[in-house]
Structure 1
């Protein structure tokens, strides 16, 4: 099986209602960073069944890791444990999943962070 892209799916739930503004501020900054990051093919977000999901597609895992370890995304990761809970999954695939598949993939394969 050929693996052409690296897919990253996150799903987060805010711990308390008063964390929502901080969550969205960091989410918007992180999304802007992802969309402009070297190696990013696409990045989008949706709320499904009360879970705030991101779906990003990368040329390779190294490009995704470079994004994770710098700028607003790194800042958000440091803050995350105090304001949200969630799971992540990353994998090689021939193409990105459809949004209709994202929540099920996350439930089945996600790793708690």
Structure 2
């Protein structure tokens, strides 16, 4: 059964239904439990991206060493992302040249 904790609706299992029938089911459940919340609030939203979470993170609480570690980690991730992009680009070029024959 779903329950509200710290302003968030916790669901112990994934939704068994999808689409409009799930919305109706969850609306009924919320009404029965006295939670005045529209089911659209948690059914239709996509999870927030990790990049958005990084941008919102409060950096004031980090020490100088922690900030340096964060920068090094982010630079490593940027290098990994660029390598993946270059690999994907090379793969695409190879595939294009193969199929142009």
Q: TM-score, normalised by structure 2?
A: 0.25
Q: TM-score, normalised by structure 1?
A: 0.23
Q: Which has more strand, going by share of residues?
A: 1
Q: Which has more helix, going by share of residues?
A: 2
Higher relative contact order (CA 8 A, sep 6+): 1
Structure with higher Rg: it is 2
